[in-house]
Each structure stands twice: as C-alpha cells, then as structure tokens.
C-alpha cells in the first residue's frame, strides 16, 4: 500500500511538473507570438512610410503623416490616451499644476482680432490696467491681425520676471497704448469661490484638482471655520478632475486615518495600490453636502464616491460623468510624453464608476455606455446600495431647468460679451455682487442692442417641424394636413423679440453675471450666480435638517 502511495505521489509530481513546463512553454509561445506580431507590424509601418516618402506622387511631410497615424492609433483606445509632444508640455504642466509664466489673462479671437476676454484678479494683466474687450494689436512687435489664439498665447507666455510688450486698442475709447508687462509665475487657484452662507453653512467650489488643491482647500476650510461655519457644501459641478492624490487629500480632511479612499488596478499587478487616509482629519463630524453634475468626473468622482461609500456626505445633483480610468505620463524620448490609461480606480465599496467600455466597440467603431443590466450593486459602510458602471448616483437627485436655446446663440455671437463690455464702459461703478441685479431698463437696452445687430438663431422646433413635414410628404400623409402644418408653422415663426421676453429671467441672470466679471472678476460672478442657484437651496436645507441628513446616511431613508 505504501509502495502504491509512493508511486502515485511520484506520478502526480511528474504530471504536475509536465503540466507546469507545458504552461511555461505555452506562455512563452504566447509572448513570442505577441512579440512577433508587434515587430512585424512595426516593420510594416516603417516600410509603408518609407515607400510613401520615396514614391508617392506628391512630396509628403513624414512627421505630420506619422503623427496622424499615432493619433488614430491612440484614439482607437480611449479619449484619454494621448501623445504629448515637446511643444505641448507647457500646457500639460499647466493642467496638472495650474502654473505657467505669463500675464494672467484669458484671450479670445473674433473676426481675426485677438482680444482680452478675462484678466485674472491681482495678476499682471489686471494690474497693468488691461480690461475685458481690449484688442491686442501686437505682442513684442509681432502683428496679431489674423493670428490664432495659440499664436498669441505662446508669445504672451514666458519665463517669470521677463517683460512682454503689448500694443493694445482700448475698448470704447479706441485709444492705442503700448504696455510693458512683467510676466509672473501664474498660479490659478483651484478653489474658485468660498464663502459663509446663511445659517452658518460654508461653501467651497473646487474648479479642478491641481497639485495644490489640497492645501488651497484646507486654507479655505480653516478660514470658514474661524468665521463660524457649522456645515459645509462642497461644489464639484463641472469639475472634470485632475490630480488623484489631491482628491485623496480632500477626502482625508473628513474621515479618520487609515480609511480606504480609492484603489487602482491595472495590467501590471505591482502597480495595483490601495490609497488610504494617512493623516488625522480636520473635522470628522461636520455635516457635508456635495453638489455634482454630469460634468463632475475623475478626481471629482473619487471625492464624491469615497465620501458616499463611507457615509460621510450626502451627494446632491445629477449623476456624474463616469470616468473611472487612471492616466500616467511616461517619457518616450525627444522630450515627448505619452499620457496613457494604466489602471481603473475603485471606490471604498469596490465599485468602478467607469460608464463607457472602450474595450468593446460596435461595428462602426463607436462605443456605448455600460447598460444598467450589467451593473452590480455594492454596499456603503452603513449598508446602503450603490451601483458601479455609470458614475456616482446622487443620494438626492435634482431637476434643472435647461438653458434656453437662444442664450447659446447670444453667447456664441458675442452679443452678451459685447453688451457687458459696453455696460462696464458706461458705468464706472456698480453695486456689490450680492446686491446687484440687472434692471428692466437695462434689459430693454440689451433687447434693442440685439435687434440692432439683426440677430437670428436656429430654433430646433422649426428644424424638427421641417423634418416632420418631409417625412409626412414622403409617406403620403401631407395631403389634407396642409392647414394643420401651416398653423403650427405660424406658431413657431422665428420671433427674437418674443423669445427675449419669454426667457428674460435666464438671459438676464447670465448677462448680469458677465457684467459682474468686469468689476469683481470670477469671485463676483460666482457670488451672484449662487443667489440664483437651483440646487444650492437643496443642499442647505438637508444640512439644516439634521434628522433627515442622518436618516439618509444611515440607509433608513423612507422617501
């Protein structure tokens, strides 16, 4: 019996060894096959470019041709995997740090003319007296007529403590001036606005996550605490994300040390990592509400997802974008980088919020969102149900009134911009943002201004009706229905005056916020917009109702 067992054991060992060797050889063969395919296709690509360069009927630009191929290759993966050439590294750095050397102003182009669209408060452009609407005629002697924004931007940027000379035409007066402006290291604050609202509710708006967001948020939070803050609204609406580590810092301010915040998993297991809170929180009990919308993505979803999973904050608004992919930048020579997706991230409950599966494409190359039927249920710390595969679903969903179609065209045609400039030129001073409202008289002046420009715009209802009429005619239903169609067409007749009256509240509020930018910069515009915010009252109400707040986070909400 013992001999049988030894033979059996020996046979099993030899079989296991054989299987192990087979698996090793099979894996090696797979790697060899993959390497062969990779080298073969790289060789083919090189040969194709060489043949085109030598024999194509017209001369080609190899660098442009190859970059077209590179861009097409990367775009077939996902929108976030990109090649960053040396010439674009400054822009990439600005995205991650919020820093650059320059004068501190947004610029735009209209009818081939470069103009100042918004100088930042306290930075060289505003300190030198540049105002919104001023036209830039030349930069360091280079004529700007017909130039693109990128051309002007590259000339305005440079090393801090160096000078740039601008020739400008002042808005309104038309006076020509030459200004020598000393560039500075420009740091765009990721905290767009922070203030103490009624009932001692704090408000902090994070516009993006740069490598200084954590410190900036901490400073704003501590200032509001000194002013008597008892609860806090964190506004992440429209925040497309940024540096993951800074999102983790923000979460750490409100949850105990040692809590899971986010984990990443990719192809290389040695890169998989669980990120935990490493410091004691600033405040582990202050009631929190977080505002999100479809523009909240990536790092914003890490903050809202982690605080939701840990039952630390009530999430309010609309479902977030659903970007659960992590990018890393890797140098590839010639001072270029590739920013590529290396992992997916998972919130503390274990869910991935990625909404689109780029690995599965339709026959036409398009991709779709992950259907609800394929999503899974996960549990928060208190046992509440949350789902993966489609962003962060708020605890309290809100319904917004969409902006009217006409407003898009008024902005796109620079009518709001130009009228706001004219208003600022004619009014040296106005009320503070929290008191300012556009008067009926001023709105009527805006209406007359719009009509004087022979403004027209596309109305979707008219387009849809025209399409319906074509289909009805094709299918033979138009005969006998002409009167009905004519009556509907009469009701949908393009009437700018009527539309300006119908959507006066929405247009007036947007126009007022643009006017305030001319006097009080971004902070003034934000302070005004909060007065008319449709979702902020919901956040304030839930923070004031402690019983309801606790009920939601405990998972015992009965609504």
Q: Known catalytic residues?
A: 298, 309, 323
Instruction: State the distance between the two ends of the chain, measured CA to CA, in whole angstroms.
Output: 70
- Name every residue whose Cβ is closer than 8 Å to that of residue 83 and which is 6 or more positions away in sequence: 67, 70, 71, 74, 336, 337, 338, 339
The CA distance from 330 to 338, in Å, is 5
Query: Beta strand 135-139 with 377-379: parallel, antiparallel or unpaired?
Result: unpaired
The CA distance from 302 to 345, in Å, is 8
Secondary structure element (H or E) that encloses residue 176, with its range: strand 176-182
Beta-ladder partners of 385? 379
The CA distance from 523 to 500, in Å, is 27
The CA distance from 63 to 265, in Å, is 35
Nearest to 106 by CA among 93, 119, 124: 119
Residue 436 has phi, psi (to 5 degrees) of: -75, 135
Nearest to 310 by CA among 417, 228, 384: 384
CB 446 within 8 A of CB 511: yes
């Amino acid at each position: 019996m013992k001999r049988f067992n030894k033979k059996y054991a020996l046979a099993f060992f030899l079989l296991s060894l054989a299987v192990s060797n087979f698996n090793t050889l099979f894996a090696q063969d797979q790697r060899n096959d993959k390497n062969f395919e990779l080298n073969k296709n790289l060789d083919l690509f090189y040969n194709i470019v060489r043949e085109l360069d030598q024999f194509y009927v017209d001369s080609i630009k190899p660098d442009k041709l190859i970059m077209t191929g590179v861009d097409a290759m990367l775009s077939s993966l996902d929108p976030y995997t990109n090649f960053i050439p040396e010439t674009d590294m400054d822009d990439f750095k600005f995205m991650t740090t919020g820093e650059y050397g320059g004068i501190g102003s947004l610029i735009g182009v209209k009818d081939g003319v470069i103009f100042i669209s918004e100088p930042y408060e306290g930075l060289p452009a505003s300190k030198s007296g540049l105002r919104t609407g001023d036209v830039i005629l030349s930069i360091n002697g280079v004529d700007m007529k017909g130039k693109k924004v990128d051309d002007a931007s590259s000339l305005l940027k440079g090393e801090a403590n160096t000078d740039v000379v601008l020739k400008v035409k002042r808005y309104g007066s038309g006076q020509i001036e030459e200004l020598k402006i000393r560039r500075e290291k420009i740091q765009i604050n990721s905290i767009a606005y922070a203030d103490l609202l009624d009932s001692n509710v704090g408000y902090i708006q994070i516009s993006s996550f740069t490598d200084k967001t954590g410190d900036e948020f901490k400073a704003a939070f501590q200032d509001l605490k000194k002013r008597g803050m008892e609860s806090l609204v964190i506004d992440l609406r429209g925040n497309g994300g940024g540096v993951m580590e800074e999102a983790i810092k923000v979460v750490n301010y409100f949850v105990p040390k040692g809590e899971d915040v986010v984990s990443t998993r990719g192809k290389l297991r040695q890169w998989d990592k669980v990120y935990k809170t490493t410091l004691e929180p600033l405040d582990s009990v202050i009631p929190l509400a977080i505002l999100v919308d479809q523009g909240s993505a990536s790092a914003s979803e890490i903050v809202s997802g982690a605080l939701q999973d840990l039952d630390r904050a009530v999430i309010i608004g609309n479902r977030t974008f659903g970007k659960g992919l992590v990018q890393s930048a890797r140098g590839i020579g010639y001072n270029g980088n590739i920013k590529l997706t290396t992992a997916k991230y998972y919130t503390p409950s274990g869910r991935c919020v990625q909404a689109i599966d780029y690995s599965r494409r339709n026959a036409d190359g398009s991709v779709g969102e992950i259907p609800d039927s394929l999503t899974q249920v996960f549990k928060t710390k208190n046992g509440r149900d949350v789902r993966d595969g489609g962003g962060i679903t708020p605890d309290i969903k809100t319904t917004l009134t969409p902006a009217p179609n006409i407003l898009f065209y008024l902005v796109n045609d620079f009518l709001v911009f130009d009228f706001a400039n004219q208003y600022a030129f004619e009014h040296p001073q106005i009320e503070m943002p929290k008191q300012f409202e556009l008067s009926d008289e001023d709105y009527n002046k805006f209406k007359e201004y719009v009509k004087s420009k022979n403004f027209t715009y596309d109305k979707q209802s008219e387009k849809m009706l025209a399409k319906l009429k074509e289909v009805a005619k094709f299918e033979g239903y138009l005969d006998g229905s002409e009167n009905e169609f004519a009556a509907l067409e009469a009701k949908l007749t393009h009437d700018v005056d009527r539309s300006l009256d119908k959507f006066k509240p929405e247009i007036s509020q947007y126009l007022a916020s643009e006017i305030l930018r001319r006097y009080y910069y971004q902070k003034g515009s934000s302070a005004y917009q909060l007065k008319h915010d449709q979702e902020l009252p919901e956040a304030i109400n839930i923070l004031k109702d402690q019983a309801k707040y606790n009920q939601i986070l405990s998972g015992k909400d009965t609504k």
